[in-house]
Amino acid sequence: WYGGASVRGQSWPINDQNATTKLFTVSDLKDNPSGYGSALERYFLGSSGVAVFVSPDIPLQLGLDSRQQFCLQSLPSMERLPLQYTVCVAHNVRAAHQEAMQQLSQHPRELPNMKTLWLPFWKLLAKVDSGPKVERELRTFSNRLRRHQLGEGVISLNEHSTNLLSDMDHDYLNSRKRGISKRLSRDLPLVKLLNISITLSPFLGVDTRQFHASLTDGTEDYWLSLPSTPQGQLIPVMSHWRGTFCVKLNITNPGAVSWFLDRVESLQAHLGMEYIMLEGGEGNLFEEQTLRPPEALSGDRYIRLLADVATRMGDSTIVTAGTRSSHKPLFVRMTPLQSDWSPMGLKGIIPSLLHHTLLGYNFLIPDAVGGSLSGDLVTDEELFIRWLEIVAFLPVISFHTPPWVCGEDRVLNLTRALVAKHQRDVVPLIEKYAEEWRLTGNPIYRPMWWLSPSDPVTFTIDDQFLIGDEVLVAPVVEKGAVRRDIYLPDGGFQWQDSRSAQVFDGGTSLQDYPVPLEDVAVFIRRS
């Protein structure tokens, strides 16, 4: 089954009388019950050609019973609501998925800013305590990228650095913009000269002057609140975000949303940035009680409403959670992964990719090369290279660890080569199939069964993927491996190795196929 809440990069066998199935997932819910993936829909797809989608307004539990049967139920602690669901049956898994997608999203699909696909994202890791220091770090990092000939890209600032820049003294900034002297003028304005992305969230610290002002100027209802008594005054609900006690934007209050969007507009004028990462949209049942008007407590209404706000911020906005918003012109950041070879690390990339795209979220910002969950720099050269080889074929390449940290010229050379390959070969392919997605809902990135929906061998392959119907990518995901098994799906066509030009029939299993460290196995479909 492909579906919403799941196990990152792992496969759980599900009993199915008609076919072999797997549950491809993005978080280990057994060990981490709150670890949902960044894109969730109440949609489940089985390899026997059965699709199930559940009403979005009913609180839902998902699990496996003692017989390994796939189970859905409404929450027993809530008002007893009937579990509303639809079952779609088709002659194969692809047909079931295509029909289900028409039912799941009936909105016109819009493309985000496709220019984003051409630009690698580089995370600025500076630990500083003032806006001017952020500027200096930006200058240093930008110069280093230029010195290493890594081309144009986007430098990503976290929320802390964003706040430091936004709080910079306006007189200081204005004096820089005017250029007090010719010596300074060549540096001005630094932030606006750079391609940066900033990070925002709907949270506001309770120790900030903005929050204190809201308690006295009548805007305390800008934050999620609950009444102190059934008819009493609304009291803002306390949250915890990035180690700080905060309140969270009341996204159902038009005044609060206007205030937030005004802040974004001010930052755009202030910093000149084009890209915005909007974090912290994930909701929970407790928060849902604070939304007005009250509706069924499904737990995902806040995410959906925040996506509406993100859309108003522009088509270069990146969100970290999505539900019922795959049709919107947004990018979605994939779940951060561990810096290792496990299903929670490198092996989790492709299952997570297929999870997102089958749910309609094709425009992805994958986790940074080497993984970013721990926040540490990656020093494993082989892991860095194999990770880079995968994300070079995804919509956007992002970096947490700069390639020069690995210390070898070949890592820098390979980074330049794969960024160039991404721009030369991959982006035009994505643009081609993006138009197909817009018209039909077919995913840009596809599992092996997409071309052989009746071939049970394809149902369990989670380390290969297709771009459209014409390119098959089979990266190495095992540490130390320079060979791997590859399966070429059948469909009355052949596959040509992009390196050797050797041609193979569809339906062929290639055993121990050579894939040296600096190569990726890529096959082109031939009629």
Q: Please name every residue paired with 72 in a beta bridge, in sequence order, or none if there are none.
A: 62
Least confident of 101-105, 379-383, 438-442, 491-495: 101-105
CATH number of 447-526: 2.60.40.1180
Query: Is the pLDDT assigned to residue 387 strictly greater than 60?
Result: yes
Mean pLDDT for the chain overall: 86
Domain boundaries, the chain: 447-526
Tell me if 178 sits within 8 A of 147, measured CB to CB: no
Least confident of 134-143, 184-193, 205-214, 515-524: 184-193
Quote the pTM value.
Answer: 0.89
Q: In the chain, pLDDT over 90 holds for what percent of residues? A: 63
Tell me if 304 sits within 8 A of 325, measured CB to CB: yes
Tell me if 433 sits within 8 A of 444, measured CB to CB: yes
Query: Is the pLDDT assigned to residue 390 strictly greater than 90?
Result: yes
Mind listing the pLDDT tens digit for each residue in 33-68? 444 568 888 898 989 999 998 888 777 777 777 777
DSSP label of 8 = B
pLDDT-derived band of residue 442, with 50, 70 and 90 as boundaries?
very high
Helices (H), 105-218: 131-147, 159-166, 170-178, 182-185, 190-193, 209-214
Sign of CA dihedral 134, 136, 139, 140: negative
What is residue 21's predicted lDDT score, i.e. its pLDDT? 36
CA distances from 164 to 157, 254, 296 (A): 10, 27, 39
Average pLDDT over residues 388-406: 96
Query: Is the pLDDT assigned to residue 455 strictly greater than 90?
Result: yes
What is residue 300's predicted lDDT score, i.e. its pLDDT? 79
Two tokens at 446?
A: 């596809």
Residues 6 or more apart whose Cβ sits within 8 Å of residue 288: 295, 297, 298, 299, 301, 302
Average pLDDT over residues 416-436: 97
Mind listing the pLDDT tens digit for each residue in 229-286? 777 788 899 989 999 999 999 999 999 999 999 999 999 988 889 999 999 887 666 6
Query: Is the pLDDT assigned to residue 306 strictly greater than 50?
Result: yes
